[in-house]
Amino acid sequence: MSKIIEHFKTLTQIPHCSKEADKLCDFLVGFAKERGYEAEVDEVKNIYIHKGTPRLCLQAHYDMVCMGKAPQIETYEEDGWMKAKDASLGADNAMAIAMMMQLMEEGKVLEYLITSDEEIGLIGANQLAFDLKASYMLNLDSEDEAEVYIGCAGGADITAFRQDSYTEGKGACYEVAVRGLSGGHSGVDIDKNIPSAIKVLGAYLAKQNVTQLVSLYAGERRNSIPANAVAIVRSETVLPNEEAVTARVLDESPDILKEGARIIELINCFRHGVHQMNKSFGIPHTSINLAIISADEKGGMQVETSARAMDMEALEKLTQETVELFETFGLTAKVEDKYPAWKPEVTDFTKLVDKKMQEVFGQSRLMAIHAGLECGVIAQKYPHIKFASIGPTIRYPHSTREMVQLDSVEKTFSVLERIIQAL
């Protein structure tokens, strides 16, 4: 067990934020080759490591969502959990890679598919073209022990833009800020009543009848629930501090955005969060994250959102509704980085994984996840492969609260060993 954790700690010291993970790519290729494996890297930096003629391919991604001080990561342990000081930890998905590294140390005859830039739209998975030989693929990117995932949400990012200009304003100038909210994963945490800094700020401005907006900078990542939002406004009445909101007077008299009032209105009209629940699995069926908004004269108004749904018909409907809302407010909308849902299916492979999970944990559930596992994309490219997904318990990924349960890592690796042995 300690070897896996040591591998993970090594990975935390190699920067691997999305789009900035070349050093980790090079490290993993070298690590594999030193242990007798063949390693290939394609144009988008996906890594394919293999030996012999394996029946099983293990799959994970090697980029991470960098929040707080990340990629500067200082790990520590507390009450059986590993955490990072003021940073996202990157257990999503480096703990999976640490398990792979241990299996490479043991020389297991397996395929390892480690994809790039998963966290910013499954970019690597969408461009896969390796000649995979295994009949089964086990994704290691789910985040609850004793659960076998057999389906996942599809998703799409909807962005919008409109140019704006300044006009004369009235009243005192304020900085109105919401800072340091907990944040979280825009898929698996979207139903956990985590407040969005953008929505909190919008509600405050509407309550105080603020319509004069100078600038707005809010949110961090498309796949993270916003933790911070800061607006510069003008008001002819005194703006008070409220819980989670601070209002600070500035010694300035700036011009205001002509469409500032409409921006505030859009924030309050936008249905951030869960739209519909999936009764079969007790998870959201459709949701959308109002992720990032920026507004000033130079860059205009830019909005970034992340929509998810457990089937493609529902995703198409939610996407179209969002586009129409943006267009109602005079923005030009664009749909980006669309990826398919992975339709839940029970197979001989999912039954095997479920059985091995029960042997270790004493229980197991077949589940679907309201997040974008790469299985849906890869399954379209390799229809002969059967899929399942497992992973250790990780809480609050994509935030500085991210943590992984160490005992869960040990037990999940035991399940993995049993699956390998059975195949």
Amino acid identity of residue 403, one-letter, is: M
93 upstream amide cis, omega within 30 of 0: yes
What is the full DSSP assignment across 377-392?
HHHHH-TT-EEEE---
Confidence grade of residue 321 (pLDDT, cut at 50, 70, 90) = very high
pLDDT > 90? residue 175 = yes
User: Bridge partners of 56?
Assistant: 136
Please name which of 367, 404, 412 lies closest in space to residue 388, comparing C-alpha atoms.
Answer: 367
Arithmetic mean of pLDDT, 29-42? 98
Please name which of 72, 68, 78, 113 lies closest in space to residue 93, comparing C-alpha atoms.
Answer: 113
- Cβ partners under 8 Å of residue 198, min gap 6: 218, 219, 226, 229, 267, 272, 290, 293
Please name which of 98, 41, 38, 33 lies closest in space to residue 64, comparing C-alpha atoms.
Answer: 98
pLDDT > 70? residue 9 = yes
- Please give the sequence-ordered ranges of beta strands (E in DSSP) within 79-195, or none if there are none: 81-84, 111-115, 136-139, 147-152, 154-162, 166-167, 172-178, 184-185
User: Bridge partners of 231?
Assistant: 176, 216
To the nearest whole number, what is the mean pLDDT of the chain? 96
Q: Following CA atoms 142, 144, 145, 150 in sequence, which dihedral angle do they give, to the nearest 10 degrees?
A: -50
- Percent of the chain residues topping a pLDDT of 90: 95
| Long-range Cβ pairs for the range 315-321 (8 Å, 24+) | 315/153, 315/154, 315/155, 315/156, 315/286, 315/341, 317/286, 318/275, 318/286, 318/288, 319/156, 319/158
| pLDDT for res 121 | 83
Where residue 43 falls (left for φ over 0; alpha for ψ -120 to 50; beta otherwise) is: alpha
Confidence grade of residue 372 (pLDDT, cut at 50, 70, 90) = confident
Arithmetic mean of pLDDT, 169-173? 97
| pLDDT for res 362 | 97
d(C-alpha 37, C-alpha 33), whole Å? 5
Arithmetic mean of pLDDT, 338-362? 95
Arithmetic mean of pLDDT, 253-281? 96
pLDDT > 90? residue 15 = yes
**Between 297 and 100, residue with greater pLDDT:** 100
d(C-alpha 77, C-alpha 145), whole Å? 19
Arithmetic mean of pLDDT, 171-191? 95
pLDDT digits (tens, 9 = 90+) for 103-135: 999 999 999 999 999 998 899 999 999 999 999
Report the side by side order of strands in the sheet with 81-84.
Answer: 75-78, 81-84, 403-405, 394-395
| pLDDT for res 111 | 98
Contact 266, 290 (CB under 8 A): no
pLDDT > 80? residue 99 = yes
Q: How many CB atoms lie within 10 A of CB 30?
A: 11
| pLDDT for res 2 | 87
269-296 as b/e, with b when 16 or more CB fall inside 10 Å?
ebebbbbeebeebebbbbbbbbbbbbbb
Amino acid identity of residue 226, one-letter, is: P
Arithmetic mean of pLDDT, 258-286? 96
Confidence grade of residue 263 (pLDDT, cut at 50, 70, 90) = very high
- Output the six-digit token pair for 95: 């703990």
Q: How many residues comprise the chain?
A: 423
Q: How many CB atoms lie within 10 A of CB 161?
A: 14
Contact 329, 322 (CB under 8 A): no
d(C-alpha 158, C-alpha 166), whole Å? 26
| pLDDT for res 310 | 95
Confidence grade of residue 1 (pLDDT, cut at 50, 70, 90) = low
397 upstream amide cis, omega within 30 of 0: no
Superfamily of domain 2-153+341-422: Zn peptidases (3.40.630.10)
Amino acid identity of residue 266, one-letter, is: L
| pLDDT for res 304 | 98
- Domain residues of the chain, as ranges? 2-153+341-422, 157-339
pTM of the model: 0.84
pLDDT > 90? residue 337 = no
Percentages helix, strand, coil for the chain (3-state, rounded to 5) are: 30, 35, 40
pLDDT > 90? residue 275 = yes
Amino acid identity of residue 183, one-letter, is: G
What is the full DSSP assignment across 57-81?
EEEEE--B---BTTTS--EEEETTE
Backbone angles phi, psi at 49, to 5 degrees: -115, 135
Helix (H) or strand (E) holding 27: helix 22-34
